[in-house]
Chain A
């Protein structure tokens, strides 16, 4: 479904991605784990068209994305819940969700998705008139994911959904991610919390300073020596 082939991305002169290749199959949950500065967010931004790869190819269902603009990419079916949530703080929850469906014209479909999102996140329905900035951290994260779902993506990019959340909320968010996946949306999940990520993912990639150093099924990675030491904090 999604394939990155030898993608190099730079911030000015600084190379953030040193030729990474990953692929995501339909229906999968694939996770990208790694420490700070490994290039996880850069990878997602490159896929979304917010950054341009200097070299390499990004294929989505066979179509090359490397020269498409982000609005085109959203229209093709890729939506992102960005790092740090980046909800619109002075818009209401409802307006935020409507922004997620910005490129869509089908009123009935948008309404249906709105209802689907409220079943997934009943908390948001309670706060529908509230300003995004007044929500708690967990609710903002829910809103960010819900907003991305409003684009009715076939591929959902999640950037650090557990960031800054209490452990109980992290569990809740991950069970919702599981549910979204069960409903048929393919997910590319970027996480620092490798333990949680590997419990929901089918496969994973380990990213280190802009390179893929390890790949395998979630089960394999969970028992891998390096991963256990570096990312799961086990001896």
Chain B
């Protein structure tokens, strides 16, 4: 009985998430959710080797999966038989809805059992290896499953992965080195524009994507150094304001680099003094001013990657894009993890903890801080290059302040300094923003049009209702609300790093003592 409650608790949050998703999307989404959430449930309710034997783990996993599956099955039936007709979509037959629901249930039970069994393996090496294997399998086959289930989520997943790279990069600067950067989108923009300028007919330079992506990362890293150097003596609030300014300047610069003419300065001075313009030696934009970024209209089209056998990546086939961005994210995770445990990573932690003590230990704080900016920016450069090539068009307005803030929110929501947390925060925010809300808007609109509005006689009320129920309009409000609640309820993030947790949980007597100690000094 106790086990039952444990299973129920473990699967209730995931079950609710799954049910909402199925209610909105319907169809085979229950199967996809059963697979995804079943695996997650199997992991969360049994990691840390909670259960001594694989057999018990499997039993618990099956129970958890069953409860989760019931959520999904019920949601499938409700969606097919009630939500669909009410929101103006064609209803589906009971057997069909049952089929959707049952597959979801089976998937949930199977994957929860499998994951739970793996999690209760006694050998930690084996356990970790199997978990990784299962996750890798998951990521690799996801596009196929998505295609079979006709859920059409892959385009959003690619967006999520782009932002995952950005969040991981920002986590270096903010999470590891403790340097608050409010202008991170600038590096994203620099990566994207570098790619745009180097592989587009706009300037007549069309280099190969596989070369340009490295150049973009390098240029972003250099921009990181450029931003880093004036901020070296600054801390906290002041640093945040300078980075904010940088984030504002960069898109404006790209917006305005439309008519460049550079004259060699000495001859230019003579030309002005002698009032003989023909003396000036022109270097750039001589015949007509050079239009570097095409202003608000942006750079379009931008070259796409191509591979032997596969040919050039196409916009109607998401698979190669998915695998490319997945590869980039995996590469980022690997690299950042290596950095974290390296000498440089330890130096970042030390600088964050106590700058003066760190430099008394012989840490070169100038280099260490500059490298935190540069390494963070590098990953934004990769993300920018991929983004530019994937969308094939870039505009300055894409890289405004709200992007920096959203990335920062992912890092904070998930847990500063913890990569798994940051990735989770990214999935939650982007998933809610790009997947849930648009679908919710659509379903709500259908519901209003077919069920509510025809039954309302008063035309003024009808008009009011028709325009005021749009979740997309409320996205920033919802977003802000979530953040406020998070900061009050769980300031250390969803998956905090052990260090951050100690820092923020003030009721921890141990930390209180150390703070009191510092104060008395």
Contact = CB atoms under 8 A, between A and B. Distances in A.
B349 A50 contact: no
B108 to A, nearest CB: 39
A147 interface: yes
Contacts of A48: 360
A41 B357 CA distance: 14
Contact of A87 (B357, B511, B513): B357
**Mostly helix, strand, loop or mixed at chain B's interface?**
helix
A134 B515 CA distance: 9
B359 A163 contact: no
Contacts of B402: none
B296 interface: no
A198 B510 CA distance: 36
A106 to B, nearest CB: 14
B359 A70 contact: yes
Contacts of A82: 356-357, 360
A154 B181 CA distance: 40
A103 B357 contact: no
A147 B361 contact: yes
Contact of A75 (B353, B357, B362): B362
Interface in B496-521: 499, 502-503, 510-511, 513-515, 517-518, 520-521
Given A74-B362, A102-B362, A134-B513, A164 B353 contact: no
Contacts of B343: 102
B510 A71 contact: no
Q: Which size class do A's interface residues fall under?
A: 35 or more
A131 B363 CA distance: 21
A113 to B, nearest CB: 14
A140 B515 CA distance: 13
Contact of B354 (A69, A88, A98, A100): A88
A109 interface: no
A173 interface: no
A89 interface: yes
A70 B362 contact: yes
Interface in A74-98: 74-75, 79-80, 82, 84-91, 95, 98
Given A90-B503, A151-B361, A50 B356 contact: yes
Given A91-B349, A140-B517, A134 B362 contact: no
A86 B354 contact: yes
Interface in B3-41: none
A133 B510 contact: yes
A35 B267 CA distance: 64
Contact of B346 (A95, A131, A132): A95
Contacts of A99: 346, 350, 358, 361, 363
B105 interface: no
Contacts of B347: 102
B364 interface: yes
A99 B510 CA distance: 22
Interface size class of chain B, counting residues whose CB lies under 8 Å from the partner chain: 20 to 34
Contacts of A164: 520-521
A70 B517 CA distance: 27
Contact of A71 (B356, B363, B503): B363
Interface string A131-145: 111100100100000
B514 A134 contact: yes
Contacts of B346: 95, 98-99, 102
Contact of A50 (B360, B364, B514, B521): B360
Contacts of B353: 88-91
B361 A89 contact: no
Contact of A102 (B361, B499, B515, B521): B361
Contacts of A163: 521
Nearest to A76: B362
Contacts of A102: 343, 346-347, 350, 361-363
A73 B363 CA distance: 11
B357 A88 contact: yes
Nearest to A81: B360
Contacts of A50: 356, 359-360
Contacts of B357: 82, 86-88
B349 A88 contact: yes
Nearest to B350: A99
Nearest to B362: A74
A90 B363 contact: no
A80 B360 CA distance: 7
Given A84-B521, A91-B349, 14 more contacts: A70-B359, A74-B361, A86-B357, A88-B350, A88-B357, A89-B514, A90-B353, A90-B499, A95-B346, A99-B358, A100-B361, A102-B347, A102-B363, A140-B517
Interface of A: 48, 50, 69-71, 73-75, 79-80, 82, 84-91, 95, 98-100, 102-103, 131-134, 137, 140, 147, 151, 163-164
The 4 closest A-B pairs by CB, nearest first: A74-B362, A133-B514, A86-B357, A84-B521
Interface of B: 343, 346-347, 349-350, 353-354, 356-364, 499, 502-503, 510-511, 513-515, 517-518, 520-521
14 contacts: A70-B359, A71-B362, A84-B521, A85-B521, A88-B354, A88-B358, A95-B346, A99-B361, A99-B363, A102-B362, A102-B363, A103-B362, A133-B502, A164-B520
